[in-house]
Structure 1
Amino acid sequence: MKDEAGAPVEHYVNPEPFDPARAETLTAEQEAYYQASQWKIMWWKFRRHKVAVWSGVILMLFYLCVPFAELIAPYTANERSNDHLYAPPQQVRLFHEGSFVGPFVYGMTSSIDLETVKWVFEEDRTDVQPLRFFCKGPDYRFWGLVEGSFHLVCPAKGGTLFLLGTDRLGRDVFSGLVYGARLSLTVGLIGVTISIVLGLFFGGLAGFFGGVIDSLIQRLIEILRSLPELPLWMALSAALPVTWSPVWIYLGITVILGLLDWPGLARAVRSKLLALREEEYAKAATLMGARPSRVIRKHLLPGFTSHIIASATLSIPAMILGETALSYLNLGLRRPAVSWGVLLNEAQDISVVVVYPWLMAPVIPIIIVVLAFNFLGDGLRDAADPYK
């Protein structure tokens, strides 16, 4: 066979006709993968990141303690014991003189060292104080609303239970850590929520409309990012009235952290929208009469929701550290409010830390939570990456 110019034309001839019986069949796992939604694929990829999974479990345990702090802590956050100033941690034991007793602590005897002028505590091996579980202990107001006295664990009648020792006023450090988790862990969640809302709003405007609006928002972002972060936090926190209640101080610090953290997310949203707004489905929605707010909300933002989740997860530890730093410098929360930064404020004097090292106990949960959030954020970011 020849073409119009007279040159021979070669035809490809399939040597074997198509046989449906020989067509490749998909396994059940392959079919499930090809039919899975974006979120399900993300979950499968995230499960392979073992460190991120365990980090998520650790964070879940921490956040489960937040609503039940009054029940978990053996004492209230500001309850004092005048006979146990700077008392060392008490060790929970199971056996006394070779006999099984169950969970208990030994009592403590105290005396004053006249040379060093400090309290000296020693275990009294004759005073066995069994722990009580699911018991009535010090009265409290659950979330400041309901009177209660139920605790998961209590000291023996007339005994003590200082798992992490006490501070200079005889307040239990472990109870302070449990109560402090409520503020230190939630400040990151509330601050990130404010940051996400502002970042999506300004980033969406800049990326979708461009032009003058984009230029103005970019200049605002550059101004905010050029300011030193920690001194700015300190200045704004110091500007909060000292007459405010601890609740209002907490809300004020949360808003400050959220207002100063949105520029990074706004730039990420802007760059993504600049690319997505040129896609055919976005142009089709605009031509069909959809308003810009609907195009952004319904068509563009869902395309990188996973990226937003990963970015938010990585922003939470920065806010936790910000609140801790401000409270440590006595510019954030103050007693009677309790956070991990407020507890660390007791350990500002290095000489006190050397003598009473248990006052540095709040550093341990801070390190664990920050590392867990970073590992979780890395796992979510890898799971949301379509090229991995």
Structure 2
Amino acid sequence: RHTGFIYAPPQAVRLFHEGRFVGPFVYGLNYQLDRDTLQRIYTVDHSKIYPIRFLCRSEAYRFWGLIEMDVRLFCAARGGTLFLLGTDRMGRDMFSRLAIGSRISLTIGFVGVAISFLLGIVIGGLAGYYGGWVDSIVQRVIEVLRSFPVLPLWMALSAALPVTWSPLWIYFGITLILGLLDWTGLARAVRSKLFALREEDFATAAQLMGASPSRIIGRHLLPSFTSHLIASATLSIPAMILGETALSFLGLGLKPPITSWGVLLSEAQNINVVALYPWLMLPVVPVIVTVLTFNFLGDGLRDAADPYK
């Protein structure tokens, strides 16, 4: 946090100074206060050169909250600043906040998909293997859940979380909400696959040998379309990330001091702030890149797992 550099613009990384190669560095920043608009106006000071240091030592911190370290990947020279993506209204470096926010946004995506993946396999497997009244109950529950619009349902459940909860409990609550409402599609896919596979000879042979239903489902039926399950799970990750981003942007998800991409975007809701400090919209870039990456990866896995191609 740099209280002397509120809403500082991004500093460009340069390699040459006055035609001479000096390595990666940034120029210093000077600012003055506009007395009419009370806006800080920053100018580049070409007389101040701050080389970028790599693997430099700084104050101790815990990497991922587990490993105590005092080495950073890169930092500015002593007495200088390095704002690759600018700063916010409190002088906090946006690049650092984006990196920290990626941990929350990505873990919500992975943990939420893990919850929905487990529920979809278990519930869909029971419906597809047993059929009958079990399948009827599961299908009615799925139809009820899918009859609600997804985003309003997320918003209603997120708003129902107690305001007295700590940010950590809110994080777990949002993850559970996203995971518990996303299993229906996978459950239907698993059900339809098991309906076709449970009559195959290998499944009948396992049943005649005395294998339990859980063993037949887990050891014989599910491995037959594992690649399809992996592709479906990969395609579900972007929806989880977008869900957390949307809820936090609307003020119904995570809140400070927890940092996520949605929390960072919520600070850019004021059109005047965005017009004056457009770098506050930069958190939308990793969201788009991550969503497209997982979509392309999921499409590739799905095509590779297609037995008819």
TM-score (norm 1): 0.78
Structure 1: distance between partners of 2:209 and 2:60: 63
TM-superposition CA deviations, 1:77-100 (whole Å, max 9, x none): xxx211111000001111111122
| TM-superposed deviation, 1:146 | 4.5
Q: Deviations over 1:45-97 (max 9, x none)?
A: xxxxxxxxxxxxxxxxxxxxxxxxxxxxxxxxxxx211111000001111111
Give the distance between the partners of 1:367 and 1:358, measured in 2 at CA: 16
Q: What is the distance in 2 between the residues matched to 1:323 and 1:156?
A: 37
Match of 1:111 among 32, 47, 54: 32
Q: 2:103 maps to which residue?
A: 182
Aligned to 1:192: 113
Task: Please point out which of 285, 295, 298 is paired with 1:374.
Answer: 295
Mean Cα deviation higher: 191-200 or 133-142: 133-142
Structure 2: give runs of 5+ residues left out of the alignment.
Answer: none
Q: Determine the structure 2 residue equivalent to 1:44.
A: none
1:257 to 162, 178, 188: 178
| Amino acid corresponding to residue 101 of structure 1 in structure 2 | V
Hey, what does 1:276 align to over in structure 2? 197
Amino acid paired to 1:251: F
Instruction: Give me the whole-angstrom Cα distance separating, in 1, the residues matched to 2:42 and 2:35.
Output: 14
Q: Are 1:132 and 2:53 matched, yes or no?
A: yes
Offset of 1:294 from its aligned partner?
0.9
Distance 1:340 1:92 in 2: 24
Mapping of residues 206-225 of structure 1, within 5 Å: 206-225=127-146
| Structure 2 CA distance for partners of 1:379 and 1:339, relative to 1, 3 Å | same
Structure-2 residue corresponding to 1:308: 229
Q: Distance in 2 between matches of 1:298 and 1:174?
A: 46
CA–CA separation in structure 2 for the residues paired with 1:298 and 1:221: 26
Aligned to 1:320: 241
Q: 1:147-167 CA deviation, whole Å, 9 max, x = no partner?
A: 432101011111100000001
Letter in 2 for 1:311: S
RMSD across aligned positions (CA): 1.1
Task: Note the alpha carbon deviations across 1:104-155, whole angstroms, 9 max, x for none.
Answer: 1111001111222211100001111111111112442333345432101011
Amino acid at match of 2:121: L
Bigger relative CO (Cα 8 Å, ≥ 6 apart): 1
Amino acid at match of 1:364: V
1:232 offset after TM fit, Å?
Answer: 1.1
> Whole-Å Cα distance in 2 between the matches of residues 208 and 131 of structure 1?
61
State, as a whole percentage, how many aligned pairs show the same letter: 68
State how far apart, in whole Å, the 1-side matches of 2:60 and 2:81 are: 16
For residues 93 and 185 of structure 1, the distance between their equivalents in structure 2, rounded to whole angstroms, comes to 31
| 2: CA distance, partners of 1:151 / 1:189 | 26
1:359 aligns with 2:280: yes
Q: Which residue of 1 aligns with 2:44?
A: 123
> C-alpha separation between the residues in 1 aligned to 2:78 and 2:205?
74
Instruction: State which of 84, 92, 95 in structure 2 corresponds to 1:163.
Output: 84
**What is residue 62 of structure 2 aligned with on the other side?**
141
- Offset, 1:200: 0.6
CA distance in 2, matches of 1:242, 1:180: 22
C-alpha separation in 2, matches of 1:361 and 1:138 = 27
> May I ask how many residue pairs the two structures share in their alignment?
309
Larger Rg: 1
SS at match of 2:11: coil
The residue that corresponds to 1:331 in the other structure is: 252
SS in 1 for 2:207: helix
User: How far, CA to CA, are the matches of 1:165 and 1:138 in structure 2?
Assistant: 22
User: Whole-Å Cα distance in 1 between the matches of residues 184 and 300 of structure 2?
Assistant: 23
